[in-house]
Amino acid sequence: MSNAASTPFVRNAWYVAATPGEIDDKPLGRTICGERIVFYRGDDGRVAALEDFCPHRGAPLSLGRVVEGKLVCGYHGLEMGCDGKTIAMPGQRVRGFPAIRSFPVIEKHGFVWVWTGDPAQASEDELPHLHWADDPEWAYGGGLYHVKADYRLMIDNLMDLTHETYVHATSIGQPEIDETPCKTTVEGDSAVTSRFMNDIPAPPFWRMAMRAHGLPDDQKVDRWQICRYTPPSHVMIEVGVALAGHGGYEAPKDKKVYSIVVDFITPETETSMWYFWGMARNFRAQDKALTAQIREGQGKIFAEDLEMLERQQANLTRWPERRLLMLNIDAGGVQARKVIDKLVATEQAAQPAAA
Amino acid sequence: MSNAASTPFVRNAWYVAATPGEIDDKPLGRTICGERIVFYRGDDGRVAALEDFCPHRGAPLSLGRVVEGKLVCGYHGLEMGCDGKTIAMPGQRVRGFPAIRSFPVIEKHGFVWVWTGDPAQASEDELPHLHWADDPEWAYGGGLYHVKADYRLMIDNLMDLTHETYVHATSIGQPEIDETPCKTTVEGDSAVTSRFMNDIPAPPFWRMAMRAHGLPDDQKVDRWQICRYTPPSHVMIEVGVALAGHGGYEAPKDKKVYSIVVDFITPETETSMWYFWGMARNFRAQDKALTAQIREGQGKIFAEDLEMLERQQANLTRWPERRLLMLNIDAGGVQARKVIDKLVATEQAAQPAAA
Amino acid sequence: MSNAASTPFVRNAWYVAATPGEIDDKPLGRTICGERIVFYRGDDGRVAALEDFCPHRGAPLSLGRVVEGKLVCGYHGLEMGCDGKTIAMPGQRVRGFPAIRSFPVIEKHGFVWVWTGDPAQASEDELPHLHWADDPEWAYGGGLYHVKADYRLMIDNLMDLTHETYVHATSIGQPEIDETPCKTTVEGDSAVTSRFMNDIPAPPFWRMAMRAHGLPDDQKVDRWQICRYTPPSHVMIEVGVALAGHGGYEAPKDKKVYSIVVDFITPETETSMWYFWGMARNFRAQDKALTAQIREGQGKIFAEDLEMLERQQANLTRWPERRLLMLNIDAGGVQARKVIDKLVATEQAAQPAAA
């Protein structure tokens, strides 16, 4: 699975691997883009990412312990350094031990990011800028789902929100979504699908948000959804409602409520993914109870997609030769796949030929 | 799995797919002869059967809803017709959408029947006639088991009832079964194995039935078992006991108690099946408590076969080259397999050559 | 899996298949070295071992019953003899039935031993002599674990006890183990790795044993571990502690406490094993409560290895091409693998060429 030439993964990119709290005093083992990786905190508290394979006898290092910033194998006590080189082992000279692979890793914006491609190309500048992450006027809450489906099915899902009408009928879905055309544009490697619905009733989730924001929840609204894909597989969705007739997306702050749906989709294998979902909002940012309430509601809504995607994957595996339709509503996902295909092709062309 | 040429399934035949109660207001997804099929009730309440694959993005239609007789995909709202042609989809022109396969399906005799072969050959005339199904003097009760074994192992099982002595020792088994020779005859595509045991004690199940029928349960009986295989994989077994010396199978009605063991064996995959089992009886037909009691007893008895068949399948998979014995007691299953092989060969000869 | 040429199993050897209590009035089905075998007690109470495959229709004989020393198939009543030849079957002449394979089997020293190689070479003389097994001055307690890993990983584990410091830190591990060099010697087909640690504190398990033996548990001790591998995959470990300065392993009986860790490692498949573990001791041999207490403690300790070995196996399967290190601490396992490789090569050279 580590043969980049046969996988549909963009490699020279930062993927969200974990949330900081997942990597505490115990190491965390997680497969990212087909690579088994152990994450832990070194001496200075900085996260390190290594192949999860002890060079002594192949035990997973993630079963070990972290002692004074060194990763100690739980089998025979080999001490591993953050660079993949063995530091010490009781009774042994370790100079000739083979190194294991280390992966560039950064902790920033409330996430741990990992790079499984060419380390020489890994630059912090390539990290997405999450303006809300360190802004006290914004609050963020989110979670993690493991989904047994090709990660690109989740991109499709998020770039085409007409599914809300059917999958999320009781929370954010409403018939007006699929009655309103959407528009997809491409800007470089980014794809944007947007939909603006005017003078419609607000669905339950937004009525709650309006009440939380001090707005009346029984009036017609203008609603927007602006889905933005950026490589490798991040989807940020600006969503919101304004009291009808005040300018919609452009309405003054006291007439609207809005937030950003945050989706970091990280391939685990070719048919499974880690799905980091969340919501960033800039109203009542200090209200932790509201953060928890929104997080719980969003968690329930997003869980509704999982069975659909996993069963869709099973169908595609069963009928591999079938062509799918590419309608206007699918344009966002289609454009995202084109970007992925282009980046993968570029990376493969740059690879030395395998023996 | 849909390549008929490589599967041992007779295709131009009606298989039981479900009982009517399984297809209510929700669609039912079920794999039959390797085909993933969604069953639902259209506008007129008639059952429809379609490929379980939305032509839009491959979602399983069985996760959808039935709205006014139309099957609505649960992902993006595509409305599918009973003929496999898309009726509508919000915001889309659907005329060019590819059709999905629809399967001939009939609801009759208390079962839903499906045909996975050439639709042009599907005729209601080919349905087995179940004389007891609509006769108020008869009652029927039954159930469904999923069994991880080649469906032909169940035909073998039912066409050779000597196994009752060993597998069902405490209910319907008795040593007299395997001490009494059976006789197999072939009539066209049907095979019949019969055994008549005279002047023997009745086993527990039949003593119960005799009491229910008002007969003494402590007297010797004449017992019969007439197993009839008909294609593709239906086995009906006439079973009964008469007070000894009154003519056995031909005894007058007030001296005997009898019923029909009903077995519809439907392949799911090459190594799994849907097993619809039941019993039709013509004594105390209105006694629903008795129907429930017999159903529960039969369910327990037939469950005793499942582990044996699944472990037999595992052994055959492990030792694929081993030849099995074909004794006289196996003649019913052997003849049934000959019929299946002949029908499959005929169907394959009629197929256009694959590319 | 029965193709000896492709498996890493020594075949001409006695493996522990079961403990006598596992084979009571019901047959026991168990896979040994890739062979599905049914074990049962024949007429004279002697254990028999046969292929778990009824020659009639392939049902597993282990689902059957033992009636007067004959193994009766649970499906159609075929009666199988201890030699693999069918004795009888209701209503059938069985003379022409194909025989199934029978395996040499011996019950001795508290274990049932089976031989999956050439029966002509199976001799009771080849059984390991367990001097403690029938000696009233010794007591034995043990158990069985199923482990999803190559059986050779368990040999490695037991021939290198430095892992105790990390895996069994709270019971028998202590830093002095991996601070003290070990020494491996080879004697014919046997490999011995020994380690002697002087003037060290006793770890919790041994403090318990010292108290049980009437020795003070708060004094420094001399500790020893002598791991002895013999083919095919038996590891006996002499372990003990003596009050420091009294001669260690050679100390007088009233100054030391010692026992033998007994490990019979039996391959199930290429990546799974049956692990029979136990301890034989010659102090307070009649104290059954102590036997139970030690057995429970040892069971907990040995369970700590299982996840490590199973995850190590998963890593090796994932990275099959990786070379492992062979350090001095690994010498016992390395030498044992050399013996296994030599014996397998010898057996394969002696095999007639396959068609």
Contacts by A221-224, CB closer than 8 A, 24 or more apart:
A222/A196, A222/A197, A222/A198, A222/A246, A222/A247, A222/A248, A222/A249, A222/A251, A223/A176, A223/A196, A223/A197, A223/A198, A223/A248, A224/A194, A224/A195, A224/A196, A224/A197, A224/A248, A224/A249, A224/A258
Contact B308 C91 (CB under 8 A): no
Q: Count of B–C CB contacts within 8 Å?
A: 71
- Average of pLDDT values for B204-233? 93
Assess B324–C contact: CB distance below 8 Å, yes or no. Answer: yes
Q: What is the pLDDT of residues B275-288, one digit of tens each?
A: 999 999 988 899 99
C194: nearest Cα among C331, C334, C337: C331
Task: Place C352 in a pLDDT band, splitting at 50, 70 and 90.
Answer: low
Pick the residue from chain B with its C-alpha nearest to C56. B325
Q: Could you give all domains of chain A from N- to C-terminal order, each with its CATH number?
A: 15-125 (2.102.10.10), 128-347 (3.90.380.10)
pLDDT at C134 over 70: yes
Q: Using a CB-CB distance cutoff of 8 angstroms, which residues of chain C are in contact with residue A92?
A: 327-329
Which chains neighbour A (Cβ–Cβ under 8 Å, 3 or more pairs)?
B, C
Contact B57 A329 (CB under 8 A): no
Pick the residue from chain B with its C-alpha nearest to A153. B57
Kindly state the tokens that stand for B48.
């429809």
Kindly state the tokens that stand for A328.
């206007």
Q: What is the pLDDT of residues C48-96, one digit of tens each?
A: 999 999 999 999 999 999 999 999 999 999 999 999 999 999 989 999 9
Alpha carbons A251 and A245: distance in angstroms, whole number: 9
b/e map B259-288, b = 16+ CB within 10 Å: bbbbbbbbbbbebbbbbbbbbbbebbbeee
Q: What is the pLDDT of residues C154-166, one digit of tens each?
A: 999 999 888 888 8
Kindly state the tokens that stand for C220.
């420094």
Mean pLDDT of chain B: 92
Whether the CB-CB separation of B123 and B197 falls below 8 Å is answered with no
Q: What is the pLDDT of residues A248-289, one digit of tens each?
A: 999 999 999 999 999 999 999 999 999 999 999 988 899 999
Assess C160–A contact: CB distance below 8 Å, yes or no. Answer: yes
Q: What is the pLDDT of residues B7-66, one digit of tens each?
A: 689 999 999 999 999 998 899 999 999 999 999 999 889 999 999 999 999 999 999 999
Contact A57 C324 (CB under 8 A): yes
Q: How far is CA B86 from the centre of its chain?
A: 32
Alpha carbons C186 and C190: distance in angstroms, whole number: 6
Mean pLDDT of chain C: 93
Residue whose token pair is 């879905």 = A173
Contact C163 A90 (CB under 8 A): no
Contact A76 C312 (CB under 8 A): no
- Least confident stretch, B179-193, B212-226, C167-181: C167-181
Contact A312 B97 (CB under 8 A): no
Task: Place A164 in a pLDDT band, splitting at 50, 70 and 90.
Answer: confident
- C125 contact partners, CB below 8 Å, separation of at least 6: none
ipTM of the complex: 0.90
- B51 contact partners, CB below 8 Å, separation of at least 6: B35, B36, B37, B38, B84, B100, B101, B102
Mutate to test the interface with A, among B1, B31, B57, B72 (most CBs of A within 10 A): B57
Kindly state the tokens that stand for A353.
């030929």
CB nearest C325 (choices: A55, A64, A72): A55
Contact C74 B322 (CB under 8 A): no
Q: What is the pLDDT of residues B330-350, one digit of tens each?
A: 999 999 999 999 999 999 888
Chain C: closest CA distance from residue A93 (Å): 10
Mutate to test the interface with B, among A325, A328, A329, A337 (most CBs of B within 10 A): A325
Contact C92 B327 (CB under 8 A): yes
- Average of pLDDT values for A201-218? 91
Which chains neighbour C (Cβ–Cβ under 8 Å, 3 or more pairs)?
A, B
Planar angle of CA C331, C336, C341, nearest 5 degrees: 125
b/e map A98-128, b = 16+ CB within 10 Å: eebebbbbbbbbbbbbbbbbeeeebeeeeeb
Mutate to test the interface with A, among C166, C183, C304 (most CBs of A within 10 A): C166
Q: How far is CA A339 from CA A182, A186, A234, A327, C230, in A?
A: 20, 10, 12, 18, 60
A160: nearest Cα among B92, B81, B53, B66: B92
Dihedral angle computed from the Cα positions of residues A300, A302, A306 and A308, in that order, rounded to the nearest 10 degrees: 110
Q: How far is CA B315 from CA A315, B7, C59, C61, in A?
A: 30, 20, 7, 10
Contact B325 C52 (CB under 8 A): no
Chain A: closest CA distance from residue B268 (Å): 15
Residue whose token pair is 């397999």 = B337
A75: nearest Cα among A57, A102, A48, A99: A57
Chain C: closest CA distance from residue B181 (Å): 7
Q: Using a CB-CB distance cutoff of 8 angstroms, which residues of chain C are in contact with residue A98?
A: 325
Contact A312 B58 (CB under 8 A): yes
Contact C76 B307 (CB under 8 A): no
Chain C: closest CA distance from residue A89 (Å): 9
Alpha carbons B204 and B298: distance in angstroms, whole number: 12
The pLDDT, as a whole number, for residue B177 is 86
Interhelix angle for A331-350 vs A151-159, to 10°?
140
What residues of chain B, 1 to 60, have a C-beta less than 8 Å from chain C?
A: none
Kindly state the tokens that stand for C216.
């003070």
Alpha carbons B224 and A333: distance in angstroms, whole number: 66
Assess A179–B contact: CB distance below 8 Å, yes or no. Answer: yes
The pLDDT, as a whole number, for residue B5 is 38
Chain B: closest CA distance from residue C64 (Å): 9
- A6 contact partners, CB below 8 Å, separation of at least 6: none
Q: How far is CA A184 from the centre of its chain?
A: 21
Task: Place A143 in a pLDDT band, splitting at 50, 70 and 90.
Answer: very high
Alpha carbons A274 and A257: distance in angstroms, whole number: 29
CB nearest C75 (choices: B167, B316, B319): B167
Q: Tell me, what DSSP letter sits at residue C35? A: E
Which chains neighbour B (Cβ–Cβ under 8 Å, 3 or more pairs)?
A, C
- Average of pLDDT values for A93-102? 95
Assess C324–A contact: CB distance below 8 Å, yes or no. Answer: yes
pLDDT at A20 over 50: yes
Residue whose token pair is 């002890």 = A54
Q: Using a CB-CB distance cutoff of 8 angstroms, which residues of chain C are in contact with residue A52?
A: 315
Task: Place C19 in a pLDDT band, splitting at 50, 70 and 90.
Answer: very high
CA diameter of chain A: 77
Mutate to test the interface with B, among A153, A165, A304, A308 (most CBs of B within 10 A): A308
Q: Using a CB-CB distance cutoff of 8 angstroms, which residues of chain B are in contact with residue A322?
A: 53, 58
Q: What is the pLDDT of residues C222-243, one digit of tens each?
A: 999 999 999 999 999 999 999 9
Check residues C162 and A333 and name the one with the higher pLDDT. Answer: A333
What residues of chain A, 84 to 113, have a C-beta less than 8 Å from chain C?
A: 89-92, 97-98
Pick the residue from chain A with its C-alpha nearest to C175. A90
Alpha carbons B113 and B104: distance in angstroms, whole number: 8
CB nearest B325 (choices: C56, C63, C64): C56
Q: What is the pLDDT of residues B66-110, one digit of tens each?
A: 999 999 999 999 999 999 999 999 989 999 999 999 999 999 999
b/e map C212-236, b = 16+ CB within 10 Å: bbebebeeebbbbbbbbbbbbbbbb
Mutate to test the interface with B, among C57, C61, C100 (most CBs of B within 10 A): C57
CB nearest C74 (choices: B166, B319, B328): B166
Check residues B266 and C44 and name the one with the higher pLDDT. Answer: B266
CB nearest A178 (choices: B53, B91, B97): B91
Chain B: closest CA distance from residue C149 (Å): 21
- Average of pLDDT values for A81-93? 94
Whether the CB-CB separation of C222 and C251 falls below 8 Å is answered with yes
How much is the pTM? 0.91
Check residues B217 and B166 and name the one with the higher pLDDT. Answer: B217
CB nearest B163 (choices: C75, C92, C97): C75
Contact B166 C52 (CB under 8 A): no
Contact B179 C58 (CB under 8 A): no
The pLDDT, as a whole number, for residue A355 is 39
Residue whose token pair is 């007129």 = B44
Chain C: closest CA distance from residue A231 (Å): 28
DSSP assignment of A215-255 equals --SSS-EEEEEEEEEETTTEEEEEEEEEETTS-GGGS-GGG
- Average of pLDDT values for C243-252? 96
CB nearest A167 (choices: B1, B53, B74): B74
Check residues C32 and C161 and name the one with the higher pLDDT. Answer: C32
Whether the CB-CB separation of A291 and A139 falls below 8 Å is answered with yes
Chain A: closest CA distance from residue B72 (Å): 9
